[in-house]
Amino acid sequence: MPMDVTAIDHINLQFPADRLEDVIDFYVETLGFETRFDDPYEAVADDPGLFPVFLGEGGRLYVNPTDEFDLAAGNYRHVAVRVAESPEAVEKRLTDAGVSIDNEASRERDDPEIGSYTSYYVSDPFGYTIEFMAIGD
């Protein structure tokens, strides 16, 4: 079962066109998100164009394959997603899936919807940073 991400509409990121299987391996197989393809590996082999990875209620990561991938050329910092699970549950999900946590931070936001939370920063196979904001109890 995937994490209960509660907020982000979408982010559109470029990935190396020859590594779409790695995208599916990480986002679908490791983290448990969906593409809504019956067989995502077959779907991207047939049409390696733009496709969404669904991150929960309404959130989407649009995978944009390119032959000219250069992470250093962009102005990307990270994608942050809210997860309605406890910090312990989020950390356990990540470690159980074999995902290395690069950084962890406890924070407070002056927003009654969020309040105190713990952020877990991870890197995907392409060097993109994802912040999982554990806002649940």
- At 12-28, the pLDDT tens digits run 788 888 888 898 899 88
Strand order in the sheet with 116-123: 5-7, 79-83, 129-134, 116-123, 101-108
* Parent domain of 14: 5-67+75-134
- Domain count along the chain: 1
Instruction: State the Rg of the chain over Cα.
Output: 15
Here the CATH number for the domain that contains residue 57 is 3.10.180.10
Q: Which of 12-21, 34-43, 97-106, 124-133 has the highest mean pLDDT?
A: 97-106
Instruction: Provide the whole-model pTM.
Output: 0.67
Contact 51, 34 (CB under 8 A): no
SS (H, E, C) 91-110: HHHHHHCCCCEEEEEEEECC
Q: Which of 130, 11, 13, 27 is nearest to 63 (CA)?
A: 13
Please give the Cα distance from 118 to 82 (Å, whole number). Answer: 10
Interval 26-41: pLDDT, tens? 988 999 998 877 887 7
- Measured distance between the N- and C-terminal CA atoms of the chain, rounded to whole angstroms: 18
Any idea what the Cα angle at residue 37 is, between residues 32 and 38, rounded to 5°? 95
